[in-house]
Structure 1
Amino acid sequence: MPGTHPALPGGGRSASPAAIPGDLLTELDRLLAPGVRTLRRSCAVDLTFGGSLAPGARDAITIRHLDGHLGHTLRDLQVRAGYGLGGKVFAMGRPLVVRDYFNTARIVHAYDRAVAPERIETVFAVPIRAGETVVGLLYLAQRDDVAIGDRVVARAVEHTRRIERDLAVGVEVRRRTAAYDEAAARDQRAVAEVRRDLDEAMALVDDEQARNRLQQVSQRLQRISTGTDAGAPECGNRDGVLSARELDVLQLVATGAANGDIAAGLGLRPNTVKAYLRSIARKLGATNRTHAVRLARDAGMLP
């Protein structure tokens, strides 16, 4: 039968692409750039080209990648479902081949003006699927009216299947990476909350040894959250090192805020603010709050 090939597999219609995620289409576009070049070399044809659904598109494939082309009339061409050979493949969900392209009655000749400068005669188009949905197209073309043999068809179909497998793997890697990043961000937020609780506890502890131990724990939590912890606790407490909460308090002091304003701004009790100020003065060797701000600025702790 004209327009079909006895070795072509598949069949059926493509599913609606409305729910295709953007990261899948981005990954497919990335794979197609080298894919069309490899396909042309593997099949020894004059021209290969292809494209994917644009994000948000429902019924059109955009041709973005070409190899062996004479001009650029096909680049960025939108192939709509049902129009042209690719549109027919898109709508039917199975590969098709046509010979004597410009005279065949098997397709709607909606894109002849874009195709004509390439002087092609025989074209083979293969759908790229994600699950049951057609999300892209690959084309092979010859500039002579010659049959595309079973061996070339098999190579082209296998090449497309490989892209589909790589697409599935790439999307899964992106999904897992995103999930890992989200989990890491949650962990960092949790560690930050724990450190704030520790800082508040330190300000209320009068025993210096206990304060030093809490400070070590807080610092190790910070190293764990940033990936710099080597497993060994710090020995002793470094004089002059302010906790994150103490810096919060001192920054507000530097603006001229009173203790009550600081307590309200940071969600603390006034007595807790006083305890922080005592701890700050002790660590910096400051005689008063103004002196503490100046010493912190000299040390580069405050802007």
Structure 2
Amino acid sequence: MPMTPPGRLALAASPLVAGALQALQHATGLPVAMGGPVSAGSSTLVIDQLRGTATGSLQHLRVDTGAGLGGKAVALARPSTVIDYLNAQGITHKYDRAVAPEQLRAMLAVPVRVGTTTRAVLYAATRESVTFGDRVLRAAGSVVARLERDIDVEEEVRRRLADPPAVPAGEQSDLRAELLAIAGSIQDDAARARLLAVCERLGPAPAPPGGPLTPREVDVLRLAAEGCTNDEISARLGLLPNTVKSYLKHAMRKLDVTNRVQAVNRARASGLLR
């Protein structure tokens, strides 16, 4: 059995994959979703998670690179689709006996790639013969892109926890802000908690150089960190647009920065936007 490289997240029966399959069903509107990891050594795909299936015929199915629809997606490193699986001409039919009991026809297979490596494959399927439109393809691509980011972040957390860097005191604020920004962008609660633990190991958060921020200044920066415009912040907090600008200006002065992006990062580094 191939060894998992240090820091590499094992995706067999992974909760990240399970969450992505649920999101895939919801986003595409297709009744069946399944998937599993691609082994590091042999590039063999193992389908180990199923949603919406009626039998166990596909559970633990091992799919070779280039074979079937999933194997084709691995070999080409891009999504592959069929309108009617059992009668499709663009794939091998090595796994027809496993697919037939489920009566699956139209099917989509999308490789999950981190860096240059295919780590898993997600499938979405229906028991009708249909051509998938751009909406379905975009929805599936969005789910897979989110999963790729979460895997990448989780593995970066593992690497940092295993070998934390020696950070000069003057650079800890910037590193803390970067880690907190990553933590705020990921969906997985366990990965986020571990990333926040790394921040705690950097020591106490520095106080804003110009004095503490008011609660309203923190509220404005929190919404700015979510990507809200001044008008959107105004609407959500029930403030006039000029008042929002004033809060931002005062916060930037206290944080000793010149723009809102720097203000958000400095506030994160100070532990104000958790």
Q: What is the TM-score with the length of structure 2 in the denominator?
A: 0.56
What letter corresponds to residue 91 of structure 2 in structure 1?
Answer: I
Q: What SS does structure 1 have at the residue aligned with 2:161?
A: helix
RMSD (Å) for aligned C-alpha atoms:
2.3
Structure 1 residue 157 corresponds to structure 2 residue 141 = yes
Deviation at 1:24, TM superposition (A): 2.5
Q: Which residue of 1 aligns with 2:253?
A: none
Offset at residue 59 of structure 1 (A):
2.2
Deviation at 1:23? 4.5
For residues 135 and 47 of structure 2, the distance between their equivalents in structure 1, rounded to whole angstroms, comes to 25
Q: Which residue of 1 aligns with 2:96?
A: 112
Distance 1:152 1:89, change over 3 A: same
User: Of the candidates 7, 30, 33, which is equivalent to residue 48 of structure 1?
Assistant: 33
Task: Report the 3-state secondary structure (helix = DSSP H, G, I; strand = E; otherwise coil) of the residue aligned with 1:91.
Answer: helix
Give the AA of the match of 1:37. Q
1:91 maps to 2:81: no
CA distance in structure 2 between the aligned counterparts of 1:70 and 1:162, rounded to whole angstroms: 28
| Cα 1:25–1:58 shift into 2, 3 Å | farther
Query: Match of 2:20?
Result: 35
Distance in 1, matches of 2:10 and 2:43, equals 17
* 1:226-263, Cα deviation, whole Å (9 max, x unpaired): xxxxxxxxxxxxxxxxxxxxxxxxxxxxxxxxxxxxxx
Partner Cα distance (1:72, 1:173) in 2: 35
Mapping of residues 1-303 of structure 1, within 5 Å: 21=5, 23-27=7-11, 29-54=14-39, 56-180=40-164
Deviation per residue, 1:39-82 (Å, 9 max, x gap) = 1112110101111123x532201111111111111111111101
Relative to structure 1, is the Cα distance of residues 147 and 133 closer, same or farther in structure 2, using a 3 angstrom cutoff? same
- Do the aligned partners of residues 176 and 80 (structure 1) sit closer, same or farther apart at CA in structure 2, a change above 3 Å counting? same
Number of aligned pairs?
A: 165
Q: Which protein shows a greater Rg? A: 1
Kept in 2: contact 1:27–1:171 (CA 8 A): no
Cα displacement string for residues 112-166 of structure 1 (whole angstroms, at most 9, x for unaligned residues): 1111111111001111111111121011101000121110110101110110011
Q: What is the alpha-carbon distance in structure 2 between the residues aligned to residue 39 and residue 140 of structure 1?
A: 7
Per the alignment, residue 202 of structure 1 pairs with none
In structure 2, the CA distance between the partners of 1:127 and 1:20, relative to structure 1 (3 Å rule), is: farther
Equivalent residue letter for 1:48: A
Q: Distance in 2 between matches of 1:95 and 1:164?
A: 14
Q: Secondary structure at the match of 2:20?
A: helix
Letter in 2 for 1:82: G
CA contact (8 A) 1:81 1:87 kept: yes
Aligned counterparts of 1:20 and 1:155: Cα–Cα separation in 2: 30
Q: Distance between the aligned counterparts of 2:59 and 2:7, measured in 1?
A: 22
Q: Partners in 2 of 1:154 and 1:35 — Cα distance?
A: 15
Percent of residue pairs bearing the same amino acid type: 39
Matches of 1:30 and 1:175, distance apart in 2: 20
Deviation of residue 22 (structure 1)? Answer: 6.1
Q: Whole-Å Cα distance in 1 between the matches of residues 6 and 86 of structure 2?
A: 35
Q: Distance in 2 between matches of 1:159 and 1:169?
A: 16
Aligned equivalents of 1:112, 1:27: Cα separation in 2: 25
Q: Please give the alpha-carbon distance, in whole angstroms, between the structure 2 residues aligned to 1:176 and 1:25.
A: 14
Structure 1: gaps (5+ residues) = 1-17, 184-303
CA contact (8 A) 1:102 1:112 kept: yes
